[in-house]
Amino acid sequence: MTTLDFSGKRLWVTGAGRGIGLRIAQQLHELGADVVGLDRQFDQAEYPFRTTLLDISDHQQVQDVCRKLLDEQPHLDGLINAAGALRLGNSDALSLDDWHTCMDVNVSGAFYLFRQLGPIWKRQRSGVVVSVASNAAHVPRMGMAAYCASKAALVSLSHCVGLELAPYGVRCNLVSPGSTDTDMLRQLWKTPEDAQRTIDGSMDHYKLGIPLGKLATVDEIANAVVFLASDLASHITMQDLVVDGGATLAA
């Protein structure tokens, strides 16, 4: 019987320093995986998995770190793209730096990793990728032009890479969270009531509420990612699993 068992499997997780990426890395480690967490910084004193510093928006760093890690262990079972950046502003007010930050981290970083790891998975004829996008990839949001565009681009990129790698037995999927209780979300709140406003939605901002009546937890998002990375999802590829409590109403 197929189970959630990652024993003997090696997986890299970007954005593993905090939030959703951290919880994904922890869950994979708890399920027996050999996890390498990648991030620009790791603030905790200790992590249960190996950590390696990497700014995925820097293509040279991505190349160097990939080569170093693959020299140590040439086999890689999977990649979880959980690193992300959020910059707010309408399109006519958004700075070029904020635009490029969203694109560089949310899209280009994944592309740089795909370039390095695609040949490895083709040679192995196996591998799995799960990228964390957003339900913002599916619906427009006020003040989130860069974020929405970058996450939509990530979805399309993942589908294309999934199609390219499918003949080699490699699966590429996405999880698109809605509002999730993380530091990234909390930085948008200015008052204690803002959490409930996020749940209720705001027609002034053309944003529907969350039908399930609550924010997602990092565990709920990590659960979906781990499932898609596991053998339980062995015949699932090029899919985007939206985990948002119904907020996009199947848009």
Scored b (16 or more CB within 10 A) or e, 7-27 reads: eebebbbbbbbbbbbbbbbbb
Residue with tokens 């509420």: 209
Contacts 24+ apart (CB under 8 A), 144-149: 144/86, 144/88, 145/89, 145/90, 145/91, 145/94, 146/87, 146/89, 146/94, 146/98, 146/99, 146/101, 146/102, 146/103, 147/86, 147/87, 147/88, 147/102, 147/106, 149/102, 149/103
Report which secondary-structure segment, H or E, holds 19: helix 19-30
Please give the Cα distance from 166 to 5 (Å, whole number).
23
Pick the catalytic residue from 47, 147, 168, 206.
147
206 is catalytic: no
Q: In what order do the strands lie in the sheet with 10-14?
A: 50-53, 34-39, 10-14, 78-81, 127-132, 170-177, 240-243
Distance between CA atoms of 132 and 150, rounded to whole angstroms? 12
**Count of C-beta atoms within a 10 Å radius of residue 245:** 21
Residues classed as catalytic? 147
